[in-house]
């Protein structure tokens, strides 16, 4: 959006200087003024009028009184031009481009469009010659994001995903911001159950999510009431969703006639204080609903951090009843130290050939990280204080470690799951290092290893060992 600029605007100091000079000449109050002839003053006034875009009328035969009058008119014209310029600047949209992306905001700040982006490219090498996994380069994430506000009431976010064989929609929702204590969100977004699932992939300290996230729902379609009170010390979310299987996004429409209810409460009792425990947060997420149907839209397949499937139900098994999850969770951040942990249980009623059973699968994970270069760790990631290449600086360096387990209910074998191709338990640990060159550029390397327990009368799956590296560009 552009605005016409006035033809000429004199700086205030220059205008006053010229005004005083001409006035002094007209009054004859200084020696310098007395040396100037009327013709010289007329010539100067003409030049000034031409610069200001004023018609250069004839000045021959014009006396000092007339010159003074024309000067006053010229001064007023310039004042009006300056007022128009200031008014135009106040009403013009504000455009900002920085490390957080591009932002276009109306003059009153009520309307805004932000352009964000996330690009993640991986190199993955598997150790031990596992025939089920191929060494590969991978475009893991390619997500542009449009977000912003439409007045004070409505905010929005739209994020497509272009990585993979086909495009998809990651986030597409609108927020009705009645008050920070109660906002209504409608659309497709992350279900409020798992802690790590709610963390942006750009802020993860490890390349892939932990085993516990395999039991938590990912993005779902629905409506949610959420908010913060007591200066952010307490937050909550409560929503109704179509329902999705563990660890996956919901499909485009509800595959059955059932809904799922999900919620979360989270406490940060000392947030904003000077206490050493100011970075402590803890809470509980849960969901409950019913599922009736067979196939991938109703029953999950569980994957390792290396993205290999280690458990799946038999094709003749169907979800047939209530599905409940609950997840105590928490974090602690202090200076460069970051700790994050969660436990989650997923209970699903299943049926095969008329035989019904409630299966209880459980998982947990604990993650630790430490920033060696003095920056603060946080749930939203690390921002280097001294970006790479500026005055010989090297950015921020972070070390990470994680351990997690996922255990399948013993009752799943052998009737509901094949013990020759599915494991009863996975144990995984990861060691990693992150190099934050700038606020927008990150290099990550992980060594990860997963071991499996065989079900009764089953075969033990080979260990998964791999090195993952990632280049991440975000803004």
- 467: closest CA among 440, 444, 448, 441? 448
Q: CA-CA distance, 405 to 345, in Å (whole number)?
A: 12
- Residues 230 and 49: their CA atoms lie apart, in Å, by 61
> Quick one: which of 264, 262, 266 has its CA closest to 282?
266
Query: Looking at the DSSP assignment, which residues form a beta bridge with residue 147?
Result: 114, 157
The domain segmentation of the chain, as residue ranges, is 12-91, 116-142+193-217+252-474
Closest CA to 448 of 307, 247, 300, 302: 307
CA count, 13 A, side-chain hemisphere, 389: 5
Phi, psi of 177 (to 5 degrees): -90, 75
Q: Is there a contact between 304 and 324 (Cβ–Cβ < 8 Å)?
A: no
* DSSP strands (E only) in 242-317: 260-267, 280-294, 301-303, 309-312
Closest CA to 193 of 224, 147, 159: 224
Residue 239 · residue 175 · CB < 8 Å: no
Rounded distance between C-alpha atoms, residue 367 and residue 429, angstroms: 10
In this structure, what are the phi and psi dihedrals at residue 380, rounded to the nearest 5 degrees?
-95, 10
- Cα–Cα distance for residue pair 156/172, rounded to 1 Å: 8
Cβ pair 106, 112 in contact under 8 A: yes
Q: Does the bond joining 414 to the residue before it have cis omega, within 30 degrees of 0?
A: yes
116-142+193-217+252-474 maps to which CATH number? 2.40.160.10
Confidence at residue 58, expressed as pLDDT on a 0 to 100 scale: 54
By C-alpha distance, which of 343, 406, 461 is closest to 211? 406
The set of long-range contacts for 87-93, using a CB threshold of 8 Å and a minimum separation of 24, is 88/3, 88/4, 88/5, 91/3, 92/1, 92/3, 93/1
**Cα radius of gyration (the chain):** 33
CB atoms within 10 A of CB 30: 13
Q: What is the pLDDT of residue 16?
A: 42
Tens of each residue's pLDDT in the chain, 475 residues: 444 444 444 444 444 445 445 444 444 444 444 445 666 666 766 666 666 665 555 555 556 677 677 777 777 877 888 888 887 777 788 899 998 899 999 988 899 999 999 999 999 999 986 557 889 999 999 999 999 999 999 999 999 999 988 999 999 999 999 999 999 999 999 999 999 999 999 999 999 999 999 999 999 999 999 999 999 999 999 999 999 999 999 999 999 999 999 999 999 999 999 999 999 999 999 999 999 999 999 999 999 999 999 999 999 999 999 999 999 999 999 999 999 999 999 999 999 999 999 999 999 999 999 999 999 999 999 999 999 988 888 999 999 999 999 999 999 999 999 999 999 999 999 999 999 999 999 999 999 999 999 998 888 999 999 999 999 999 9
CB atoms within 10 A of CB 200: 12
């Amino acid at each position: 959006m552009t605005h016409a600029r006035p033809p000429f605007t004199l700086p205030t100091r220059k205008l006053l200087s010229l005004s005083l000079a001409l006035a002094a000449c007209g009054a004859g109050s200084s020696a310098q003024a007395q040396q100037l002839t009327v013709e010289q003053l007329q010539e100067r006034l003409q030049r000034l009028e031409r610069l200001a875009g004023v018609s250069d009328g004839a000045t021959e035969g014009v006396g000092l009184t007339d010159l003074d009058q024309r000067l006053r008119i010229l001064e007023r014209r310039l004042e009006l031009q300056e007022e128009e310029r200031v008014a135009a600047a106040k009403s013009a949209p504000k455009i900002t481009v920085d490390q957080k992306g591009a932002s276009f905001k109306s003059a009153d700040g009520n309307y805004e469009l932000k352009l964000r982006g996330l690009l993640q490219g991986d190199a993955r090498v598997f150790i031990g010659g596992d025939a089920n996994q191929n060494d590969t380069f991978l475009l893991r994430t390619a997500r542009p994001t449009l977000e912003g506000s439409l007045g004070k009431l409505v905010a929005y976010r739209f994020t497509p995903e272009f990585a993979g064989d086909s495009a998809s929609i990651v986030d597409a929702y609108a927020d009705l911001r009645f008050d920070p204590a109660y906002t209504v969100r409608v659309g497709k977004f992350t279900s409020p159950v798992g802690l790590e699932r709610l963390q942006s992939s750009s802020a993860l300290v490890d390349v892939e999510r932990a085993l516990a996230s395999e039991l938590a729902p990912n993005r779902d379609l629905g409506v949610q009431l959420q908010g913060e009170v007591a200066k952010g010390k307490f937050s909550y979310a409560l929503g109704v969703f179509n329902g999705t299987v563990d660890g996956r996004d919901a499909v485009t429409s509800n595959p059955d006639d059932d809904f799922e209810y999900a919620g979360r409460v989270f406490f940060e009792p000392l947030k904003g204080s000077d206490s050493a425990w100011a970075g402590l947060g803890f809470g509980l997420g849960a969901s409950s609903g019913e599922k009736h149907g067979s196939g991938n839209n109703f029953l999950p397949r569980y994957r390792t951090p290396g993205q290999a499937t280690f458990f799946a139900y038999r094709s003749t098994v169907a979800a047939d009843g209530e599905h409940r999850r609950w997840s105590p969770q928490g974090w602690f951040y202090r200076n460069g130290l970051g700790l994050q942990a969660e436990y989650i249980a997923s209970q699903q009623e299943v049926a095969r050939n008329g035989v019904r059973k409630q299966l209880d699968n459980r998982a947990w994970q604990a993650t630790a990280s430490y920033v060696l270069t003095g920056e603060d760790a946080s749930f939203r990631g690390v921002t280097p204080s001294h970006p790479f290449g500026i005055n010989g600086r090297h950015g921020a360096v972070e070390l990470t470690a994680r351990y997690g387990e996922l255990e399948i209910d013993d009752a799943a074998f052998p009737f509901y799951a094949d013990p020759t191709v599915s494991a009863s338990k996975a144990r995984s640990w990861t060691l990693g290092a992150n190099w934050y060159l700038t606020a927008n550029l990150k290099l990550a390397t992980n060594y990860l290893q997963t071991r499996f327990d065989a079900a009764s009368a089953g075969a033990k799956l080979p260990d998964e060992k791999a090195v993952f590296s990632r280049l991440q560009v975000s803004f």
